Amino acid sequence: MISKMQETGVIEKFTELFNELEDCDEDNQKQKIEEMNTLTEKMDREELKSIFTLELFNEIHQMIEEKKLQLGNAILLLKHVGYWKVLINTYFLCFKKSLLNERFERMILEEEKKRNEKNEILLDDLCECCFLLKDRFSTELLSICVPCLLKAASKKDENEETQKEVEMALLALSNLRFIKIEQELFLNEIKEIIKYHQEHHNLTHLAYQYAWMFLIHRFVTNRSLEDAIVDELRFPRAATRELEALSKCVDWKKKEEVTKRVKEVQITKRWVCTIEVLFSNFLSWKDEFMELICCIVGLCRVTRENEEIQGCFRYQLLDLTQNETICIEDMVKSGYISLVLEDFLQSTLNDEIMFFSFDIYLSIFGRLNKKMDDDSKEEERLKNKIAIFEKMEEEGYEDIIISFHETLNFLNRKYGSGFSLDIADYFVNV
């Protein structure tokens, strides 16, 4: 059994309820597990990991084996824990080593072999538990679970129960991150799910996000998906609409409101991280990217008080700079260059923001100082240099950088960044 912990509150209550499970009938077990699931949603990452250890997963396995815990009730607990784990972006590295994981994988393989007699609801539940609770999968498990969950996610009924099932199936799929999956296992099905929603709006906002996360994560290992993602399904337009809606539903400048709207913060972070994957990998510029970049610039400004989201934006902005598919002129037009310059002008500039700002500007300057073979592109490069030079001169950028000169050594030591100590490298010369 779980030993009593020193912590009070949700962990202590969760422990107490778990230790009572084996003495309950099925209905009482279910009631206690529903209470435990409610408690789970009050836990942060460290609290969740302190509860769900290798020992606990093995204990659950043993209780199922000895018929002290009904399998359906165990699944009810584990699916919800997996849901919350993904929502707050943490990991259980211990689950894949557990006897419970071995049990579930064995049951999936056995259920799949039944063909016409298989219990599809049980198979869905087992696949969701595995995909939500761990991050490594065999090719065989993927070949069974991916089609199974896409089928569950393709249900078109809009009643609340079906929507929850669809959302959970897509959440489990989205947690596959950057694992390579054969295209024939998923592409037609996920495209149909997204297209149907774009026409009929049958998915919840979360389910729609999970569908995109699953597809965009496949893009990292399969660049041929770019046409489907950008041209056919219009991801930039879809992401812009979703981000604009999120920017309006929270007053990002009021810390107390942002603190209360944890769900919206997490949803925003996931959209930003999903877009970052696209910006790191796309191969050809599309006009719709401009609208999305403008939206990101606007959202980055209004969320400046939220360090969690700003951390996501820093990586995304750096990816934008380093992807040479995006021309400097579009960065100027979108307000992106001005945004980064504004960071230097903040009165409370922290080390991390300073590091990213230097890194971003060095990337921009490197591109601006690289002469182009094509005459028209060279003309555009010089025009951009003048525009950025004038903007920086107007804002007093040169004086700001000189004032930070002594900081460069510190940033190099702290981040291992290798920033040049020659201050002239940080200026645009026309």
Residue 219 has pLDDT above 70, yes or no: yes
Examine residue 208 and state whether it is found in any structural domain, yes or no.
no
Segment 40-50 mean pLDDT = 91
Share of the chain above pLDDT 70, in %: 97
Q: Does 307 fall in a domain?
A: no
Residue that finishes a domain, picked among 96, 114, 136: 136
Q: Mean pLDDT, to the nearest integer, of 387-398?
A: 82
The residue from 90, 113, 136 where one domain ends is 136
Q: Is the pLDDT of residue 7 over 50?
A: no
pLDDT for residue 268 is more than 90: no
As a whole number of angstroms, the distance between CA 229 and CA 14 comes to: 43
**pLDDT score for 59:** 97
Q: What mean pLDDT, rounded, does the chain reach?
A: 88
pLDDT at 14 over 60: yes
Q: Has residue 348 been placed in a domain?
A: yes
Task: State the pLDDT confidence band at 3, using cuts at 50, 70 and 90.
Answer: very low
Answer whether residue 216 shows pLDDT above 60: yes
Higher-confidence residue of 155 and 360: namely 155
Report DSSP state, residue 99.
H
* Residue-number span of the structural domain to which 130 is assigned: 1-136
Q: Tens of pLDDT along 358-386?
A: 888 888 888 888 888 888 888 888 888 88
Neighbours of 139 (CB within 10 A): 9
> Of 295, 329, 326, which is closest to residue 313 (Cα–Cα)?
295
Counting the structural domains of the chain, the total is 2
Domain assignment of residue 35, yes or no = yes
Does pLDDT of 343 surpass 90? Answer: no
* DSSP-H helix ranges across 305-417: 307-322, 328-334, 336-344, 351-368, 375-395, 397-403, 407-415
Per-residue model confidence (pLDDT) at position 175 = 92
DSSP designation for 2: P
* CA dihedral over 317, 45, 90, 39, signed as positive or negative: negative
Two tokens at 249? 């539903």
254 in any annotated domain? no
Q: What is the pLDDT of residue 385?
A: 85
In a domain, 306, yes or no: no
Mean pLDDT of 277-296: 86
Mean pLDDT of 320-327: 80
What's the mean pLDDT in 155-179? 92
**13 located within any domain:** yes
Window from 56-65, 186-195, 239-248 with minimum mean pLDDT: 239-248
pLDDT digits (tens, 9 = 90+) for 201-215: 999 999 999 999 999
Kindly tell me if the per-residue pLDDT of 28 is higher than 90. yes
- Provide DSSP, 257-325: HHHH-HHHHHHHHHHHHHHHHHHHH--S--THHHHHHHHHHHHHHHTTT-HHHHHHHHHHHHHHHH-TT
Query: Is 51 within the bounds of a domain?
Result: yes
136, 159, 177 - which closes a domain: 136
Mean pLDDT confidence for 68-83: 96
- Which DSSP state fits 423? G
pLDDT higher than threshold 90 for residue 282: no
pLDDT at residue 261, as a whole number: 79
pLDDT at residue number 347: 57
